[in-house]
Amino acid sequence: MDESLGQIYGLELQARALAPQLGEPNEVRFFIATNSLKPSTNQVHLLEFNEEKSTINAKIFEHSMGEVWKMNANPHDPYEISTCYNEQNGNIIRTKAAVLRYSDETEEKNEIKSEYLHWSNVDLLNINGEKVKTVEFHPHQKEKLACVIDNRVVLYDRVKGKDTQIAEVLSAGSSSKHINAFNCGKWSLHHQCQQFVTLHESHIKAYDIRDQNHLAWSIEDAHGQFVRDLDCNPNKQCHFVTGGDDGFIKIWDCRNPKEAVFVRNDHSHWVWSVRFNTFHDQLLLSSSSDCKVLLTSASSVSSEATNVNSELSNSGVEECKVLPDGLLQTFEQHEDSVYCVEWSNVDPWIFASLSYDGRLLLSKVPKQYKYQIIL
């Protein structure tokens, strides 16, 4: 791979859904899904990157149910994903959700005449609402799902039996039709994973799933405009990063919601995706409608800065394993809005970005920054 350009995988259709294969412990793999208005043409691609050969191998599955707007991978099962897609019935368009599973035998059993591979199991969620923004697998509890529907967070339990059933068990938020829908949502990795964080217009609201409609904490006017995405720092308690239509990325400590602890404004348009590096949380990725992917250092508020400070105080030996705060690298290989960016689940130095024109770019953290961190 040319580290300055990355490795490109192109689709024939538009796309805006990307997810790393979280349950895979060894191989660098990503799921991408298409966003075509013709339901029968939509696909899910499972890509595997071979770093030694600099090649990308793909398995292509059908997704004839509709255009995919959001996709997540199950952290407990490498063969399972969730998708949110549009279903059109006459002039009425509703967003639906499904949990899809394939197996190692899928390719062997696939009919020769079929253009795509088929799923071994498809569970359609019973959705009581119009707009489904995301289906999120619980980080630790395999049977639990959270679904953002309109202005509610609906929890589902998966009961294993003769057939897997997904049943609604809790609804948090508001049932009023006069309150605008949530933008998105995600499980918090903190507070014993008992909180679900939602984005509502320019605000951030966290609900305690043990108590229906209990608002655990909130940040009002987190951004000047819509908050598009958030991510939870897996290594530092109570820290979240958000990106919004104002072009800012901000890191928040939910214990002190009045002011962000880290702010950057390097994008010139809406920020669609923000991600902490799961190993080195001083590294941040963001993607935007300005067709750029940015690699940013937030060392001063990272867990690694805390670790270095503790080592200094205990041993008196100076160690420099954190980068200075600020923009590290701009990746400009995309020619359309970049809706998604994701770190590899296996290699902390590899990430993928996906633009609306169907271009997926596999990139690496530049060597000079990698070596400053690990040496």
**Could you tell me the CATH number of the domain that includes residue 359?**
2.130.10.10
Which pLDDT band holds residue 316 (cuts at 50, 70, 90)? very low
For residues 301, 223, 244, 203, the Cα torsion angle rounded to the nearest 10 degrees is: 100
Average pLDDT, the chain: 88
Coil, strand or helix at 372 = helix
Q: Which tens digit of pLDDT belongs to each residue from 143-186?
A: 899 999 988 888 888 876 434 445 554 555 555 566 788 999 99
pLDDT at residue 105 is higher than 80: no
Q: Which long-range contacts (CB under 8 A, 24 or more apart) does 115-120 make?
A: 115/60, 115/62, 116/43, 116/60, 116/61, 116/62, 117/59, 117/60, 117/61, 117/62, 118/61, 118/62, 119/61, 119/62, 120/79
In a domain, 355, yes or no: yes
> Between 73 and 115, whose confidence is greater?
73
Indicate whether 264 belongs to any domain.
yes
79: pLDDT strictly greater than 80: yes
Sign of CA dihedral 331, 43, 243, 274: negative
The residue among 87 and 299 whose pLDDT is bigger is 299
Domain of residue 227: give its range: 222-304+322-339+349-374
Residue 78 counted as domain residue: no
pLDDT for position 152: 87
- The end-to-end CA distance of the chain, in Å, is 23
276 belongs to a structural domain: yes
- Residue 241 reports pLDDT greater than 50: yes
Q: Which residues contact 112 (CB under 8 A, 6 or more apart)?
A: none
Where does the pLDDT of residue 112 fall: very low under 50, low under 70, confident under 90, or very high at 90 and above? very low
Tell me, yes or no, whether 252 lies in a domain.
yes
What is the residue whose two structure tokens read 């994973």?
Answer: 193
pLDDT of 115 reads 74
Conformational region of residue 193, where left means phi above 0, alpha means psi within -120 to 50, and beta covers everything else: left
Q: What is the pLDDT of residues 12-40, one digit of tens each?
A: 999 999 999 999 999 999 999 999 988 77
Q: Give me the percent of the chain exceeding a pLDDT of 70.
A: 87
State the residue for tokens 């043409």: 41
CA distance 295 to 19: 18
9 belongs to a structural domain: no
Give percent of the chain above pLDDT 90: 69
- Whether 265 is covered by a domain: the verdict is yes
Task: Specify the higher pLDDT residue, 2 or 314.
Answer: 2
Mean local confidence (pLDDT), 231-255: 96
pLDDT tens digit string along 323-374? 999 999 999 999 999 999 999 999 999 999 999 999 999 999 999 999 999 8
Residue 183 lies in a domain: no
Count of domains forming the chain: 1
pLDDT at res. 159: 72
